[in-house]
Every structure is written in C-alpha cells, then in structure tokens.
Structure 1
C-alpha cells in the first residue's frame, strides 16, 4: 500500500480565530465562493463535531460528481481539524482514503499560518498523478 502526502502552508493576515471560523463554516461558504467546484456540502449524519459525515457534490469544474467524508478530529482551542474522505470520485478508484489535517497557528503580527497536510492512502502501488496532487 503506497502513501503519498503533500504539505501546504499559507500565511494570512486574518486572525486564527476568524480563519478557523470560516473553515468551520465551509459547507455554507464554499458553494457561494466557488460554485463551479462546490455545488453543495451537506451534513448527512452528526452535529458538525467528531463523527459527523458530510457529502460534497462537486460542480462542473471538477471531473467527479461527489465525495463523502467524516470529521475525525476537531479542536477549536488549538484551531485544528482533521477529516477523511472515504467514498466518492475523488478517490479515483486507486485510494482507500484521503485525509486532510488542518492546523491554524496564530502569528505574532495578529494574522496566522494555515497548514494543511493531505495524506493519500492508496490501495496498491499506484499513486495519484503529479497533476492531480
């Protein structure tokens, strides 16, 4: 089983609390900001906390139609959030899971740093293409 991960780090002028709140409201904000990518994000089970299951219906700009993910960890006090995609087109038939680990760290200038680690857990030795990543 192959595993591939990518790390993304972005500095923001927004305070960590505000950015984490926006991230927490993803299902409301994403379809409004980028409807060609996100048609809808719906909670199908849970209250938004750990264990909550959500379904994303993708827009025309995405080559697959939907995906299902579960909230694995959520800690508002440390601005950290983890969710795991386990079903849908974004797994491309070659992955068991895609896990997103988000950590927002306050910076000394009043802004913050958004860190995302994405881990692709593949079914075999085949990995997502560089373009996909």
Structure 2
C-alpha cells in the first residue's frame, strides 16, 4: 500500500463558521441544494459526531452512485474536520481509502481560507495518475465554490 498526499486551498468571501457548517456539520441540508448531482446525504451510523458514517447518494446522471465517509475528528470551535472516504465507487479498484483534513481559517476581510489535505491510500503498489487526482480535486473545488456562492446568495443559511 502506498500513500499519496496532496494539499490545496481555496479562499472564499464567507466566514469560516458558515463554510464549516455548510460543508461539514450541515452538509446534509446544504450540499443537495448546491449540487444537482447530490441526491441526498444521510447519517447511516452515529449522531454526526466522531465515529459517525455519512453516506452521500448521487443522482442517476452522476459519475458515481454513492460514497461513505467516516468522521474521524471534529472541532467545531476551531473549524477543523478529519474524515475518511471508506466505501463507494469513487475508490475504484485502486484505492483502499482517502483521508481528508479540512481547516477553515479566518481572513482579514471576513472570509476564510479552506485548507485541505488529502491522503490517498492505494491498494498494493498502485501508482496514481496525476490527471485522476486533478479531476477529483477540480470537482471538489467546484463544489466548495458553489457552496460559497450559495451562502452569499442566502445569508440566513448556516448563520
């Protein structure tokens, strides 16, 4: 098994508190409204806190059917979350799991920077292709930007 780590960040004009709520603690309410490919997000185990498992179900026209993420760490005061993609067709036959850490940090203008570390754990001696990683990264960044736009257009959401 190999581990390939990637780091990226995104600046938004939305506060860390609202972005954290929208993408982490209230994602089941917000993300299906933001992305037409997300049918729903349901907690299939636990109460949403550490150890819980959330399943994201995608619509018929989406590239994937579903994925399950386990919540590994949650700090709502400092806006930090760690979670692991443990099941779903996004893992394919090359990945055992993907571990994520997301930090939402204040910026001087009232927005935030989302700092994301992704650790891809491969099966066997698989070597990941950069274009595959970039495609997933671009999709995620598009979702985060769409979420920020939604929050700006709807100031009462996650306030």
Q: Secondary structure at the match of 1:90?
A: helix
Query: How many residue pairs align between the two structures?
Result: 132
Q: 1:62 to 1:3 in 2, by over 3 A?
A: farther
Is 1:25 matched with 2:35?
no
Q: Secondary structure at the match of 1:131?
A: helix
Residues of 2 paired with 1:26 and 1:57: CA distance? Answer: 13
Q: Which structure has the highest strand share of the two?
A: 1
Question: Where in structure 2 are the equivalents of 1:1-133 lying within 5 Å?
Answer: 1-23=1-23, 24-36=25-37, 38-133=38-133
Residues of 1 paired with 2:35 and 2:113: CA distance? Answer: 22
Contact 2:6–2:119 (8 Å) recurs in 1: yes
- Decide which moves more: 85-94 or 60-69: 60-69
Residues of 2 paired with 1:55 and 1:90: CA distance? Answer: 12
Q: Secondary structure at the match of 1:132?
A: helix
Contact 2:22–2:31 (8 Å) recurs in 1: no
Q: Secondary structure at the match of 2:109?
A: coil
The CA deviation at 1:122 is 0.5
Q: Which structure has the highest helix share of the two?
A: 2
1:55-97 CA distances to partner (integer Å, 9 max, x unpaired)? 1112345432111111000001110001101111111111111
**Structure 1 portions without partners, runs of 5+:** none
